Structure 1
Amino acid sequence: MKAVRSWFRWEIWLQLALAAATLALAAAGAGGVLNLAFLPLAAAVALILYLRSPTRDYVSFCLWIWMLAPLVRRLADWSSGFNPLSLIIVAPLAVSLLAIGRANRKSFWSYAPFTAIIIVYAYGALLGIFQGQPIPALYTLATLVSPVIFGCYILTYADRSREIAGTMLRTFIYGTFVLSLYAIDQYFNLRPWDAYWLTASEFSSAGLPIPQMFRLFSTLNSPGHFAVLLLVGLLAMFSSSSRLRWITPPLALVSLALTLVRSAWGGLAIGLLVLLVVGQGFQRLRYVLIGLVATILALPLLSYEPISEVFFGRLASIVNLAEDNSYNARLSFSDTILSQVDSLVLGNGLGISGLGTKLGGENSDAMRVFDNGVLDLFYNFGLMALIIVFSLAAMIYTAIKNGSFDDYSRVSAAIAVGVLSQIVFSNALVGFGGMCIFPFVAIVVSWKVSAPRRQTAFPVQRAFAR
C-alpha cells in the first residue's frame, strides 16, 4: 500500500509531466524547441521540488536528470541536427546548483575537505579567466563544483541523512535497472538517435555506429560514465531488500562488461573490498553470498558468444598490458604532461583541458581528452592540487573509518571509494563522476554527526512511550 500511495503524490506526477512533454516534443520532431525548452522546464521542476520535497524528490530528480539528459540531447539532435553546444547538457548542472541555496548555513561548510576543494576550484577558475578563457573556465568550474555543492547540501540535512541515503541508493538501483535494459537493447538494436550521435560527435573511441561494434553507453554520454553508474548501482544492491537486487545485477554485470571500461571493473572490486573492510561478522558473509549469487546469475548471459568474445578479449588485455594500445597511449600522454614541469607549478587554470575547451574556439582542442585524473589536477591547479589530493585522502579515511554504522553508510563508503579510485585514469571528480563521490561521502559524514543525536533521543522517546 505504501508503494501504491507514493505514486499518487503530486511530486511524482510533476516529474512524469516533464518526461511526457519531453517525449512529445521528441516524437513531434521538434528538436529545436526541445533544445531550448528542456533546461528551463527541468530547472523549474527542480526548484519546486527543492522547495517542497528537499530531501526526497529533489535529490532523486537531480540524479535522474544526470542519468537521462544525454539521451534527451540525442533525441533533440536527431530531429533538428547535431548541436555541439546543446543547452540540454547544462540541465544537470543547473538543477544540482540549486543546492547552493543552503550555503548560508554553517553546516554547509562543516566538512573541511569539501570547503578546501571548493576554494581550490575557485582559484583554478580565476586562473583560467586570467588566461583569457572565461566561458570555458566558468563552465568547467560548474562541472567540478556542482557535485561538491550537492554534497555540502546533504550535510545541512544531517538529521535526515538516512532518508537521503535511501533515496539516493534507491534511485541508483532503479536507474541501473532501466539503463541496463536500454543498454542491452542498444547493443543488439542500435537506435537511430544513438547511431547518429556516435557519428556526428566523432566519438571514435566508443566504436562504430553499428550493432555490437561499439562500447555500451546507454542513455549517458560515454562508456566511462555508464560504467560508473553500473558500479554505483551494483554496490547499491547490497543495501536493498527489493526483488530488483536479484534481477538487476545480471543485466548490470553484462552491461558493465560491454562498456569495456577496465578502470570501472577495478573500481567495483575496490568497492567490494571496502564493503568487506567496513562490514562486521555476519555482514561480510552476507555480502560475499550476495556477490556470488549475482555473479552466478550473470554467467549465462556472459557466456553468450557475442558477449563473451568481446568481454574475455578485453579481460585478457589486462594480463598483457605491454601490447595494449590504450595503456601505452596513456603512458605516452603522462610522459608528455610531466615534461611540462613549468605549467605544473602554478597551473594552467580551468577551461584549458576537458570538455570545457569546446567553448574556447579552435585553439582549445589539444587537451580536450585528459587520460590521467591526477595529472589533470596538477595541470589545472598547479601545486594547489596538493590540497585536493590531501582532501581526497581525508575523504577516503572518513569513509572507511566511519562507514560502518549500517548498510547505508557501508555501501555509501564503498561507492565513494570505488568511484574515486578511478581518478588514476580520468578525472572522476567532474560531473557525473563527482555526483557519485561527494554526496556519498556526505552521507557517511552526516551519519556520523547525527548518530549521537539519535542515540540520546531514544531514552526520551521510550520515556514518552510509557
Structure 2
Amino acid sequence: MLESTSLLVACLICLPALIMASRQSSWLIDYLFFVVALNRGVRRVVDYNNGYFNPFSTISLTPIIVGGLAVVVVLLELNRRGHELGHRTANVLYLYGGAVAFAFVIGFINAKLGAVYALGDYIAPIGLMGYGSLWAADSKTIDRWCHTFAASVLVVAVYGIWQFYTIPPWDGFWLMASGMDGYMGIPEPTKMTLFSTMNERGPAAMYLCCGAILLMLRPGTLGLLRWPAAVAILFAMLLTYSRTTVIFAGLAVALFPLLNRGSGLLPVAGLSLLVLVAGPSIMARMPGQASARVETIGAIQDDGSFKGRIMLLGVALRGAIAEPLGRGIGADGMASRVQQASNAVVADSTGYVKTLATYGWIGFFVIVTVLYRLWRSSSDLVTWELDDRNVRIFRAWFIAGMVALFSGNWLVGASFFWVLAGYCLGKMDQEDKSEQLAVGSKQWEDGRWEIGSNQTSVDSY
C-alpha cells in the first residue's frame, strides 16, 4: 500500500512530462526544473503521511524519468533525417553520449541496478543541451526558461528559510529516519542546516548557487523580483553552510567582466563594493554557523575538509592506475546503496576525482574534450562580437565552475549550465549555416556572371 501511494504520486508527476515530450514541447524543460527542485520534498511529505521512510521511493526517480524524456526527444531529433541540430551540437552530444554509454556499461557490471538508478543524472545534460540548441533562435523561449529556473530556485530558497526556522515535521522525520542527523544537525529551529526540498545540503546549496549566479548576472530575470529574489536565495545558500558555493558565486560575478571584455563592469563593481562594505556586518548577524563557515574560506588550506580532498586526489590517481576503465556510473554514492542494500556510501571527494573514477582515463579525456568544445564555441561567439548576455553568463559560469569542480561534482544532473551550453552550440551552428549560405550565394552569383560573360562572348562572335 505504501509503495502504491508513492508509485501513484510518481505517475501523476510524470504524466504531464510524457504529454509534453510527445508533442516535443519546450515547456518540458520548465517542468523539469520544478520536478528537480521539488521531488524530494514531495517524497518526504508522502513518507511522513504514511509513517514510513522509504529510502528507494519511486518519487525520487521522477527527475530521471522527466529528464530521460527530454533526452528521448533529442535522440529522436538526432536520428531524424534532416534534423535541425547543427553539426557542432550533434558532435558534442555524440561525444558526451558515448562516454556516458561506456561508463554505464562498466557501472552495470560493477553496480548492477545502481547504474540504472544513477543514469538519469548523467544523461540529463544531453536533453538540456539538445533543447538549448534547438531553441537557440527563439529568444522568448530562452528567456522563459531563465525565468522558470530562477522561480524554481526562489521556491527552494523560501521553503528552505522557513524550514530552517520552523523544522516542518516531515523534514525532521526524514532527518532522523535516514540517519542524516549529526551531519546536518538536529531537527530543531536554527540547529539544522538548510537542505530545503533537496536530498541534502550540498545539492541544495549548488541549486541555490546556480540561481544566484543567473539573477546577479542576467538583467531582467524575474523582473522587479530580481534583487529581492537574489537576496533571499543568497541568504538561503549561506544557511546550507556550503563554502564551495560562496566561492563559486563570487568567482562567477568577479570573472564576468574579465572574460567578456569589460561587459557589466559597473554593476559588478557596485555589487562587489556593497559586499565589501556591508558584508561583514551582515555575516555577523547570520544565524547558526553560517558566519563561522564563511570565515574559514580565508584559511581554507588549514581546513580538514580541504586537506582531505587533497589526500583523495592522490588516492584517486592510484585507483585510476589500477582501474583505467573507471568504476562506471552508480558505483558510489546513493546509487550504490540500491545494489548493496546498505547505508554505506563512498567518502566525499572532489568533482575531478569522481569524474575520473566514473569514466576512467578514456572517458575523462572525452569529457575534457566536450568541455573544451563548449568553451571554444563561446569564445568564437565573443570573437565575432556577438552581443549576447546568455553567452557571457556561460563563460563566467564555466571558469568559476572549473574551480568549484575541485570540491563538488556539479556537472551531473539537470543544471541550467547545460541549457546555456546548448544555446552556445546552437548559436554557433546558426552562424555556420549563415556563412555557408553566404558562400553559396556568392558562388551562385559568380557562376551566373561567368555564364553571362560566356554567353555575351558567343553572341558577339
TM exceeding 0.5? yes
**1:262 is the counterpart of 2:223:** no
Match of 2:53 in 1: 82
- Shift of the alpha carbon at 1:329? 2.9
**Structure 1 pair 245/257, CA: closer, same or farther in 2 (3 Å)?**
same
2 CA distance for matches of 1:400 and 1:116? 20
Match of 1:272 in 2: 253
**Structure 1 pair 278/320, CA: closer, same or farther in 2 (3 Å)?**
closer
Matches within 5 A, 1:147-296: 147-160=125-138, 162-203=139-180, 204-237=182-215, 238-241=217-220, 242-280=223-261, 283-289=264-270
- Shift of the alpha carbon at 1:64? 0.8
Match of 1:113 in 2: 92
- Shift of the alpha carbon at 1:198? 1.5
Greater relative contact order (Cα < 8 A, sep 6+): 2
**Structure 1 pair 195/301, CA: closer, same or farther in 2 (3 Å)?**
farther
Match of 2:310 in 1: 331
**Structure 1 pair 182/251, CA: closer, same or farther in 2 (3 Å)?**
same
Partner deviation per Cα, 1:316-368 (whole Å, 9 max, x = no partner): 2223335423223323333333333543412222221122101111579352x
**1:49 is the counterpart of 2:15:** no
- Shift of the alpha carbon at 1:152? 1.9
Match of 1:94 in 2: 65
**Counterpart residue type for residue 43 of structure 2:** R
Gap regions ≥5 residues in structure 1 = 1-29, 458-466
Match of 1:377 among 344, 352, 355: 355
Match of 2:105 in 1: 126
**Counterpart residue type for residue 428 of structure 1:** W
2 CA distance for matches of 1:317 and 1:337? 26
**Structure 1 pair 78/156, CA: closer, same or farther in 2 (3 Å)?**
same
Of stretches 185-194 and 236-245 in structure 1, the one that deviates more from structure 2 is 236-245
Match of 1:27 in 2: none
TM-score by length of 2: 0.81
Matches within 5 A, 1:267-416: 267-280=248-261, 283-289=264-270, 302-304=283-285, 306=287, 310-362=289-341, 365=344, 367=346, 369-384=347-362, 385-402=364-381, 405-416=387-398
1 CA distance for matches of 2:2 and 2:257? 48
2 CA distance for matches of 1:44 and 1:419? 34
**Counterpart residue type for residue 437 of structure 1:** F
Task: State the secondary structure of the residue aligned to 2:204.
Answer: helix
Give yes or no for contact 1:172–1:236 (8 Å, CA) kept in 2.
no
Larger-gyration structure (1/2): 2
Partner deviation per Cα, 1:34-66 (whole Å, 9 max, x = no partner): 4111222222101223345712x2221111111
**What count of residue pairs does the alignment treat as equivalent?**
420
**Structure 1 pair 70/342, CA: closer, same or farther in 2 (3 Å)?**
same
- Shift of the alpha carbon at 1:103? 1.5
Task: State the secondary structure of the residue aligned to 2:8.
Answer: helix
Gap regions ≥5 residues in structure 2 = 78-82, 439-461
Partner deviation per Cα, 1:383-432 (whole Å, 9 max, x = no partner): 11122123223323434553663223322443454445422212222224
Give yes or no for contact 1:235–1:414 (8 Å, CA) kept in 2.
no
**1:440 is the counterpart of 2:420:** yes
Identical amino acids, percent of aligned pairs:
21
Match of 1:104 in 2: 76
**Counterpart residue type for residue 226 of structure 1:** A
2 CA distance for matches of 1:282 and 1:437? 20
Give yes or no for contact 2:256–2:264 (8 Å, CA) kept in 1.
no
**1:59 is the counterpart of 2:29:** yes
**Structure 1 pair 408/257, CA: closer, same or farther in 2 (3 Å)?**
same
Partner deviation per Cα, 1:291-334 (whole Å, 9 max, x = no partner): 65688788775442525xx2331122223335423223323333
2 CA distance for matches of 1:296 and 1:95? 44
